[in-house]
Amino acid sequence: MNRKRLSAYGIRVGNMQPGPLDKISDVPGVRVGHATIRDARHHTGVTVILPCEDNMFAKKLTAAGFVLNGFGKTQGLVQIDELGTLETPIALTNTLNVGVVHDALVTYMDARCRADHVPMHSINPVVGECNDASLNAISDRPVTAAHVMQAIECACADFDEGDVGAGAGTVCHGLKGGIGSASRVLTIAGKTYTLGVLVQSNHGCLEELTVCGRRLGEEILERRAQKPQPEPNDRGSIMMVTATDLPVSDRQLRRIIKRCAVGLARCGSYFGHGSGDVMIGFTTQNRVPHGGMHRVLTQQVLTEHTLELAFRAIAEATQEAVLNSLCCADDVQAENGTVYEGIGRYL
Going from the C-alpha of 161 to that of each of 23, 46, 119, 167, 328, the distances in angstroms are: 10, 13, 36, 8, 6
HSE, CB side, 13 Å, CA atoms: give it for residue 30. 30
Going from the C-alpha of 335 to that of each of 46, 134, 138, 283, 332, the distances in angstroms are: 20, 9, 12, 41, 10
Contact call for residues 281 and 242 (beta carbons, < 8 A): yes
Q: Catalytic residue positions?
A: 237, 275, 277
* Secondary structure element (H or E) that encloses residue 129, with its range: strand 126-130
Residue 214 DSSP label: B
Which 3 state secondary structure label does DSSP give 170? coil
As a whole number of angstroms, the longest Cα–Cα distance in the chain is: 67
Going from the C-alpha of 54 to that of each of 116, 148, 166, 240, the distances in angstroms are: 10, 19, 24, 23
